[in-house]
Chains A and B, each alone.
Chain A
């Protein structure tokens, strides 16, 4: 696997609170609402850029407001 394409953990922040039932919609990513900040974090492993864009597309299709996208670096053992 090349550097660019190796799978990574991502955290996508959207506005509002989404319940866990939406996990299936987002390919079994973890859905964690944070009520105090009125955001929800959708997180999990994505295999490559294409997967990331697919996910962002789904966010858009649902009319959710995208706040941030973060790559979570793998911890070095």
Chain B
């Protein structure tokens, strides 16, 4: 039995997912120099992680969008190939722009290293961007139960 997940719900889920990622990165970045209480830091990060996980599951996992963008083109039909190709095209542009912003920002403030939280954030972003674009733009996205 398939249920449609509305565009509004998907977009909210995407925003929540990205905000939780940004919150985790900020917590880790701000925790060290400002000497925040470790327990508070961990609680905050864990909370954000749980929220991020729930939003990931509802927007990308249950909708099978995560699987769609990671499936070989041989297993997709022509419309799916077109959708995935477009999402990868836009993802490439967005990801490059973000990388360049970080690189130039680091160059301007003369910061020579990128910490593990930022690197981890970019790794997650690289994997999630194509699915985000599809979830944001597609007219019809269904939550399927069982095998498709």
- Please indicate whether A and B come from the same complex rather than being unrelated chains: no
